[in-house]
């Protein structure tokens, strides 16, 4: 059954770029229960007609960096090689973070995946994945975590980095996060209290570069990547040195879902294990700095399993001592941010804001990135964060479920406290209006975003086009991913915020249509956040544009916050609430639950 969110109503449209008016109550939009159901069940692609379709492609996810060279180029080659050996078309599914690939595996949207060692252990316990093979690098299917510093640093041991700035790779990385956190936990310390500040690079190579450029005092990196960089004369690697080495861990493996048919699993394994004997396969492996693939046992990952148990237990004790509602001035308070951007860009934009607020507030704040649009709301609602920057849609959800309090919301340099949703196409696309997207492929951003999903689907409905009229559609967490998919020709159109569309116009992106103004998302406080801290943070936000240092921080934020902040109230989002709540009464197809915000 194909479900379309919205149905058209008589909105007016201006000449030129279409500017669709969003009606005040009642309006159209998805009920919360429907959104949740779609979050759990939405397919990767929704073909309009599959009759006579070719054999399903082999979908292989890529996240772990078992090689320090270009992931996209060489992983694509190995995926194509596997497809040729199995006699199937092959598709590489590349994602920015380990967590994204893990979720695709859990949803059975991948046939196989290259994942990090630590996520393998978690995935095997949580939803079941099986080892297929593992690469041999430098003569063994093992690797290590290295703690590095600048070559001129006075630090000689890991202990010497207390009070320093440290860069991790990924929250789920073994060598780039788990091991150094385990090392600290064994000494009764947490990253929050041991380091003066830490952040994520989402690339081992990038972590080395940040230390070389003195943007961080230390980093935890993959030994295979680091060795390759040094042997190939990387100036960044030459500017650093190793002060600590971990024990050996099982190297990031190739895995398959637990319910993969045995015949298919063995064919995949055979293709990998014999790859070094094939001239084309051997060439690809040499380029990836892999000698061959071998069959490995789960015991190779026992040490990682032990570290995860100890770190989890330590985190639980630490959080109990530093609960969001604690009045302890030394407690670390989380500031969660919804997943507008890929993690690397998000840290670049929001870490200076959190640092500024912490300094002015006199409290320790930690930037917490949401895994997707809804995750930040969950964190502030379950005492994993005291504050959060949310999307209008996730704010309504958090307000209903957790009684969060809106504090402030951004405005642009012109003083507008709003932004727009846009539908974009390539500059040379023949698509001239929304109705022309019938039978074409459309990429949406996260399901729980106003500009990336809710409003664009309303715009399509206004043009008489529902989801079952598209050839295919897919939701992506990050709006930059939507843009890349459109520019690469994988989708005919995409839905993003106006700021993102403007930033990528020079790359060949054209705005096809845009929505009416959407209120900027609020900074909210958890219901149990300390009252004095909440009032203090609100005052600091509202006065940022009057402070020279604050203005400098604002200039690096998203466009809808560069003009500063103004006081926010729940009533600011009533139009969006009415838009969502109108669907159960106005759908006409009886496919929406009677849920309301």
Return d(Cα 396, Cα 399) in angstroms, integer.
Answer: 5
Check residue 33 and give its pLDDT: 41
Same domain, 210 and 354: no
Same domain, 190 and 238: yes
47 domain residue, yes or no: no
Same domain, 241 and 279: no
Which of 204, 227, 246 lies at the terminal end of a domain, its last residue?
Answer: 246
419-476 pLDDT, tens digit each? 999 999 999 999 999 999 999 999 999 999 999 999 999 999 989 998 889 999 999 9
469 domain residue, yes or no: no
15-41 pLDDT, tens digit each? 334 444 333 333 334 444 434 333 333
Q: Which residue has the higher pLDDT, 528 or 241?
A: 241
162-180 pLDDT, tens digit each? 999 999 998 889 999 999 9
Same domain, 530 and 407: yes
Same domain, 336 and 410: yes
495 domain residue, yes or no: no
Among candidates 148, 120, 118, 149, which has minimal Cα distance to 133? Answer: 120
Which of 205, 228, 246 lies at the terminal end of a domain, its last residue?
Answer: 246
Name the range with the highest mean pLDDT among 192-196, 464-468, 534-538: 534-538
- Residue 408 structural domain: 325-416+523-558
Same domain, 345 and 404: yes
Check residue 318 and give its pLDDT: 64
548 domain residue, yes or no: yes
Q: How far is CA 253 from the centre of its chain?
A: 22
398 domain residue, yes or no: yes
Same domain, 271 and 352: no
Mean of pLDDT over the chain: 84
Same domain, 277 and 298: yes
Per-residue pLDDT for 43 more than 90? Answer: no
The neighbouring-strand residues paired with 113 are 61, 255
Same domain, 132 and 163: no
Total number of domains constituting the chain = 3
Per-residue pLDDT for 391 more than 80? Answer: yes
pLDDT above 90 coverage of the chain, percent: 60
Query: What CATH number did the domain enclosing 343 receive?
Result: 3.40.190.10
Same domain, 152 and 297: no
Q: What is the mean pLDDT of residues 477-505?
A: 93
26 domain residue, yes or no: no
Torsion, Cα 496 500 505 509, to 10 degrees, reads -20
Alpha helices in 219-278 (DSSP H): 223-231, 235-238, 262-273
88-145 pLDDT, tens digit each? 999 998 887 788 888 899 989 999 999 989 999 999 988 989 999 999 998 999 999 9
176 domain residue, yes or no: yes
Which of 246, 266, 295 lies at the terminal end of a domain, its last residue?
Answer: 246
Same domain, 258 and 207: no
Given a contact cutoff of 8 angstroms between Cβ atoms, the answer to whether 115 and 105 are in contact is yes
Same domain, 334 and 387: yes
Return d(Cα 101, Cα 119) in angstroms, integer.
Answer: 10
Given a contact cutoff of 8 angstroms between Cβ atoms, the answer to whether 193 and 131 are in contact is no
Check residue 580 and give its pLDDT: 84
Q: Which residue has the higher pLDDT, 226 or 583?
A: 226
Per-residue pLDDT for 560 more than 90? Answer: yes
- Residue 127 contacts by C-beta under 8 Å, 6 or more apart in sequence? 105, 106, 258
484 domain residue, yes or no: no
């Amino acid at each position: 059954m194909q479900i379309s969110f919205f149905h058209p109503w008589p909105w007016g449209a201006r000449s030129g770029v279409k500017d669709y008016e969003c009606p005040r109550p009642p309006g159209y939009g998805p009920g919360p229960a429907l959104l949740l159901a779609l979050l759990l069940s939405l397919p990767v692609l929704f073909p309009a007609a599959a009759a006579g379709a070719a054999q399903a492609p082999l979908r292989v996810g890529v996240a772990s960096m078992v090689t320090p060279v270009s992931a996209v180029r060489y992983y694509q080659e190995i995926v194509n090689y596997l497809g040729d050996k199995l006699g199937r078309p092959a598709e590489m599914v590349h994602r920015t973070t380990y967590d994204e690939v893990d979720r695709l595996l859990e949803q059975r949207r991948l046939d196989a995946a290259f994942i990090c060692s630590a996520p393998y252990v978690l995935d095997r316990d949580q939803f079941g994945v099986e080892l297929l093979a593992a690469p041999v690098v430098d003569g063994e299917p093992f690797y290590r975590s290295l703690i590095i510093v600048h070559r001129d640093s006075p630090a000689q041991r890991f202990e010497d980095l207390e009070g320093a700035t440290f860069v991790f790779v990924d929250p789920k990385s073994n060598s780039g996060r788990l091991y150094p956190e385990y090392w600290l936990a064994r000494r009764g310390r947490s990253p929050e209290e041991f380091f003066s500040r830490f952040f994520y690079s989402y690339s081992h190579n990038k972590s080395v570069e940040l230390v070389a450029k003195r943007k961080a005092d230390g980093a935890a990196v993959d030994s295979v990547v680091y060795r390759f960089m040094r042997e190939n004369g990387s100036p960044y690697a030459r500017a650093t040195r190793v002060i600590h080495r971990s024990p050996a861990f099982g190297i990031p493996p190739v895995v398959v879902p637990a319910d993969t048919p045995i015949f298919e699993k063995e064919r995949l394994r055979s293709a990998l294990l014999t790859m070094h004997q094939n001239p084309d396969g051997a060439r690809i492996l040499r380029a990836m700095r892999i000698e061959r693939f071998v069959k490995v046992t789960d015991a190779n990952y026992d040490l990682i399993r032990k570290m995860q148990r100890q770190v989890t237990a330590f985190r639980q004790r630490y959080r109990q001592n530093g609960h969001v509602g604690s009045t302890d001035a030394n407690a670390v308070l989380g500031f969660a941010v919804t997943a507008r951007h890929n993690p690397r860009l998000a840290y670049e934009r929001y870490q200076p804001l959190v640092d500024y607020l912490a300094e002015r507030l006199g409290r320790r704040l930690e930037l917490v990135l949401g895994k997707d649009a809804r995750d930040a709301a969950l964190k502030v609602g379950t005492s994993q964060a005291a504050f959060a920057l949310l999307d209008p849609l996730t704010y309504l959800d958090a307000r209903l479920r957790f009684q969060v309090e809106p504090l402030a919301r951004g405005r642009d340099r012109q003083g507008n406290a709003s932004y727009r949703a846009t539908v974009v196409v390539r500059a040379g696309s023949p698509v001239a209006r929304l109705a022309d997207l019938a039978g074409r492929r459309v990429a949406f951003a996260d399901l729980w975003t106003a500009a990336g999903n809710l409003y664009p689907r309303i715009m399509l409905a206004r043009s008489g086009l529902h989801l079952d009229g598209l050839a295919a559609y897919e939701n992506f967490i990050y709006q930059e991913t939507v843009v890349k998919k459109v520019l690469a020709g994988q989708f005919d159109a995409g839905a993003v915020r106006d700021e993102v569309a403007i930033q990528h116009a020079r790359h060949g992106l054209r705005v096809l249509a845009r929505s009416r103004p959407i209120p900027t998302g609020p900074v909210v406080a958890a219901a149990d956040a300390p009252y004095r801290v909440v009032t203090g943070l609100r005052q600091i936000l509202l006065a940022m544009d009057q402070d020279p240092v604050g203005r400098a921080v604002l200039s690096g934020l998203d466009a809808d916050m560069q003009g500063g902040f103004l006081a926010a109230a729940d009533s600011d989002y009533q139009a969006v609430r009415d838009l969502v709540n109108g669907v159960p009464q106005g759908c006409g197809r009886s496919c929406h639950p009677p849920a309301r915000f």
